[in-house]
Amino acid sequence: MRSVSIIGIGCTKFGEHWEKSFRQLIAEAGIEAILSAGVEGKDIEALYGGSMASGRFIGQEHIGALIADQLGLNPIAATRVENACASGGTALRSGYMAIKSGEYDVVAVGGVEKMTDVGVEQAAIALGGAGDQETELFHGASFPALYALMARAHMTEFGTTEEQMAMCSVQAHKNGMLNPKSQFHREITVEDVMRSSYIASPLKLLDCSPITDGAAAVILCETEKAKKICEQPIEIIASTQASDTLALASRKSLTEMAATKKAALDAYKQAGIEAKDIDVVELHDCFSIANILAIEGLEFFKKGKGGKAVEEGKTALNSEIPVNPSGGLKCGHPVGATGIKQAVEITEQLMGKANKRQVKDAKIGMAHNVGGSGATAIVHILRKA
């Protein structure tokens, strides 16, 4: 099997883009990725685009063909990938496998979502489809409610506090201040989080990721060819995926994400490394409790110790394991684009081009993308050549 590397990256600013359309966003990110890769459109052999709910958000389906059209890439094969909030990560894995198998040498992968063209209630319904519609959403269990159940279970079993969860949000905003493409450039305090309104107890407004517009893209290439094209290709040394039950009620535990743990263990084995070898991680923190569940599931900290680790500053920039230097999902979560943006951030970190948020001596990085309340987990491990 062949090796795969990232040779080009692109990302829009995340936020409320009233002035830009869905197709303009993906064109902006895609063109930036192609230009940074140093390739031409004719060099790209296939395209995979992640988008979770474009039909509900903007009334547009058939996204693969739309992206190819907007980037002038016709007549290559173009495929839309949907896997809830893990749509971007799954698109990246699809492109990775297409090159790994020998089918293609150069592939474009993108993710895009335009979420602010509908009201908050409509957006919540669209996002709710990532859970079990029949047993959860139909009965009023929105995603804040589902993650609140996990948060409450973690608090009960391990003594995790609302203040520790708030610290996840505080850290995310602090990192986001250093990222010109994050949605928020405003630091917050634990007191700010604790004073914000409850959405679903114990989760408050500032424990939750926002509604976001944005797009991101990467260009993948077979590694030997990449070395001839790119000055500093970033190799993908592991790509794994795992699943769990869609409904929380069917799971063995509410205090862990089994799919995350399975994907992480498989990724470490595939890459021939351990959790301690990861220098920087972009993980899926759609809610503050998701941050804590992730750092435990990815084996950076023992189960039940995640909240304390955050409290002790062990996940801050240039600490024991720097988490979400980009600001993470808390500073922008256009669901179909998130998994690709994570890969963009890790690539910048390994290239040493992350500017003020640069993690010192980063050589191995991880991107962790979750679908729904943990029914899907995608893990990629990247390495600096």
Active site residues: 85, 333
Of 385, 345, 341, nearest to 363 (Cα)?
Answer: 385
Of 306, 288, 282, nearest to 168 (Cα)?
Answer: 288
Q: 282 near 326, Cβ under 8 Å?
A: yes
**E strands, 119-212, where?**
198-200, 203-204
In 3-state terms, what secondary structure has residue 277? helix
* Residue 182 DSSP label: S
User: Which contiguous run of DSSP H or E holds residue 265?
Assistant: helix 258-271
Q: 183 near 136, Cβ under 8 Å?
A: no
Q: Rounded to whole angstroms, how far apart are CA atoms 341 and 320?
A: 23
What are the residues facing 243 on neighbouring strands? 376
Burial of 252 from C-beta contacts in 10 A (0-12 / 13-18 / 19+) = exposed
Q: The dihedral of CA 260, 261, 266, 267: what is its sign?
A: positive
Please spell the DSSP secondary structure of 223-258, one letter per residue: HHHHHHH-SS-EEEEEEEEEE--SSGGGSS-SSS-H
Q: Give me 241's structure tokens.
A: 């995926």
